[in-house]
């Protein structure tokens, strides 16, 4: 008499393809979710390398004709650059799929840019991009402003530490024995890098505020809603913080460009 298949074994064999499909779907979902699981939709930390934002210093000094430092970044300097990038990257309303694969790219410093800053770019993208309801445009604007407010304190706290240590570094240069010309140049270049990065963020914040205000004004006349008051309050809060930063980095060359809105 042929052996009858065990009921439990048979059920397991029949359910095996479905189980595999379920596991694959879960894994794919986890992977895509992980890619977009960074703060504010940014690339997650384990997809980054420690010095991925090192280029900020070289770009800042290079744009004003200076040579970048060859010194390794300190932990504080690396953190300064990591916190600076989200504030330097132009704010924009982006499709959901972009938050999965990311859109990280190096950006030219404001000293290198020859094109006049267009405060309408952000608002036009926000208004023209399809939304399920008019209030979602206000909500996107509010989210972008709130994210900047959230990023403000950590960045300037980091900047304060870096600038204070640079003051001590500058004082120490006079007391270092047998200081080579290369060491002197690298130390000065690093201090210039750090100062320019802080100025870069300050300029970008002023530009963001100008863009946010233009956007809110257009939303109010196109799709008036009481939620506009919340957006206006948050923009005012960000503007007040930006006008009185905890760290006032002095320009290395000339005067820092400001864009009031």
pLDDT tens-digit series, residues 136-164:
999 999 999 999 999 999 999 999 999 99
pTM for the structure as a whole = 0.73
pLDDT tens-digit series, residues 24-43:
454 544 444 444 344 444 44
What is the mean pLDDT of the segment spanning 47-52? 67
Structure tokens at 236: 């005012």
Q: What is the 3-state secondary structure (H, E, C) of 114-157?
A: CCCCCCCHHHHHHHHCCCCCHHHHHHHHHHHHHHHHHHHHHHHH
Does residue 133 register a pLDDT over 70? yes
Q: Which residues contact 172 (CB under 8 A, 6 or more apart)?
A: none
Q: Which residues contact 67 (CB under 8 A, 6 or more apart)?
A: 61, 185, 189
Ranges of H-type helices in the chain: 7-35, 55-63, 75-88, 96-101, 121-128, 134-172, 181-222, 228-243
What is the mean pLDDT of the segment spanning 181-200? 94
């Amino acid at each position: 008499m042929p052996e009858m298949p065990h009921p439990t074994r048979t059920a397991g064999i029949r359910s095996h393809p479905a189980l595999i499909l379920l596991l694959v779907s879960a894994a794919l979902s986890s992977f895509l979710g992980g890619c977009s699981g960074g703060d504010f939709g940014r690339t997650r930390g384990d997809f980054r390398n420690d010095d991925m934002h090192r280029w900020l210093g070289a770009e800042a000094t290079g744009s004003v004709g200076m040579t970048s430092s060859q010194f390794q970044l300190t932990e504080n300097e690396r953190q300064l650059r990591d916190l600076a990038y989200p504030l330097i990257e132009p704010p924009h309303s982006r499709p959901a799929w972009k938050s999965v694969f990311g859109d990280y790219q190096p950006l030219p410093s404001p000293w290198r840019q020859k094109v006049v800053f267009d405060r309408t770019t952000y608002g036009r993208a926000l208004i023209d991009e399809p939304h399920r309801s008019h209030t979602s445009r206000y909500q996107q604007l509010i989210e972008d402003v709130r994210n900047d407010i959230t990023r403000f304190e950590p960045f300037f706290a980091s900047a304060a530490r870096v600038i204070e240590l640079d003051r001590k570094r500058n004082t120490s240069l006079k007391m270092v024995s047998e200081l080579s010309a290369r060491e002197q140049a690298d130390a000065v270049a690093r201090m210039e890098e750090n100062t320019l990065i802080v100025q870069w963020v300050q300029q970008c914040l002023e530009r963001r505020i100008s863009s946010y205000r233009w956007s809110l004004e257009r939303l109010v006349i196109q799709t008036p809603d009481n939620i506009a008051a919340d957006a206006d309050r948050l923009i005012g809060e960000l503007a007040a913080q930006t006008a009185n930063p905890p760290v006032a980095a002095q320009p290395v060359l000339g005067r820092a460009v400001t864009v009031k809105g």
